[in-house]
Chains A and B, each alone.
Chain A
Amino acid sequence: MEFNWKRLSALAILLVLLIVPPLAIDLGSNIMNVMVTLFIYIILSQSWNLIGGYTGQVNLGIVAFFGISTMVTHFLWKEGLPIFAAIPAGSLSAAILAALIGLPTLRLRGMYFAVGTLALAQAAQVVVANIFVRQVAMPASFTTAYSLAPRYYLGLFLVVVATAVVYFVTRSKVGLAMVAIRDDEQAAQVTGVKVFKYKVIALLISAMLAGLAGGFYAYVRLSYWQISIVFSPLWTFDALLAVVIGGAGTLGGPIIGSIFLVVLSEIFANTLGQAHLIVFGFLFILVVLFLPQGLMGGVDLVRAGMYRAWRSVRRPTIV
């Protein structure tokens, strides 16, 4: 395997830039909080990217996987399990839930998977809210031990993990099958790709990633949260928005999209209030209609345009 050293070293520099400054100087809890939120978004949108962007199955209920993992992680952690074991356990519970809904709905084409996942998310919200009290809080011993730094680094670690998982899955045989299914399911089936099997694999990995995001959320927000917030369809929409705006089916798309989204909402939430969500809605539709490759595709377009401009400038001197 040939490494792209330029890209690798750029990645290393980026990681150092993300790791060192919080150690060296105090960035303040504001910036750190925004970064932690950003990490949750990136993990969740990478999860959606795998099933929606690479495999082409529109999942409208990713919040169910996020939420179930938040609950499981929260209670296991509260019972004394270390957080490093609680988050994987939450992630696993998300995968089990995914298998329950995925096995019947992924067999069929069309809207069934989208409807099934949406129904699952709504039903999960109702069931969990009925079983537990409507809000959940950690005991005081946890809240006094709260500090942002370990959350920042765990979040960064999980972002790297999620991105690496997507990178290696999409560059494997499984990834090839996933893209084949997205581009033309019938053709993939005819050429011998086991469509159903690979769809389920994609869903399970995606659910586990969403579970990581959920577990991390349980680690971050421990003082007080409401179950309706953890299971709110807002999470699904945000992940979808980040992936589509950044560029579905690209590794960098969810990252760029999440940064774009978090920065914009930081700017607009104060000036526009509720209306900023409407702006996001219009933005989303415009991107779906006119920029199917998202911002990543936009970058390529600009690059191609610049290259063409450069060529046309250079050509006379060559001749």
Chain B
Amino acid sequence: MFSKIDSIEYFLPRKRNLFSINFKKIYSKTGILNTRICNKNQDVIDLAYRACAKLKKKLINNVDTIIFVTQTPRYLLPSCSCILQEKLKLKKDIYSVDLNMGCSGYIYGLSVADSIIRSGIGKKVLLVCSDTYSKYIDKKNTNKYIFSDGASATIIKKSNKEKIFNFSFHTDGSKHKSIIIDKVNEIEKFSMKGSDVFAFTLEQVPLNIKKYLKRYKKKISFFKKIFLHQASGIILDNLKRKLNSDIIYKDIKYIGNTTSSSIPISIANAKRRGKIKKNDNLLLCGFGVGLSLGITSVKL
């Protein structure tokens, strides 16, 4: 038994006003006009619920697995997936689990979903990615020009044909402080060492994609589009140069970096805009916090 992506929906909260004296200079590098920010009384569960509510009712009713990818959970415990089960009024004989993963989280989530279906544990998975980094990024932190709050909901179903296939992963924990939420004077704050993350991305993403293609005996021309994590304009432009490929999809200008949701959001938008269609092969690659990286292939 194999698995396939059935549908993807997402929810983005209101636009954040990014105007500042340096905005033009910042925009030239980030490629981001708007980031998104949730209200004070909203959190990852609320955003996830709004994304799930966009899915067709009959699709969500008999979900037997919830995978909730987040790094900004409502509580340290219990897990967000349990809270979402109740909020969506899903059945109680259900497998629910949280994954503490960031920008590579969608690929890790897909690997768990695919394994659950292949093993026969479940038949229909709700993969939710939801984060609210804004709660840890204060007004003075320039990362507000990059990161957006947002959530996505993906339904993965069993399939007779293999439509999610060939996973590959990479982890470098020696750089775990490069993107971190840690206590500063007793307050948990987000920080990112841009040069570390940039170097990791520029070196490891092209290298791992090339290794992946070799390992699975595929040429880049096999894929209709490449969906990379929408980290920032400068990163996507550099990866396009390094991979020497014009099939990399860019969808960041009005959305920002929504961490684990960026890949499903860009796939959903590409589909709506007619850039991809049924039976197209897509290469997905998420990378970032960890530092970690995941690659997989999807047939629509």
| A in complex with B | no
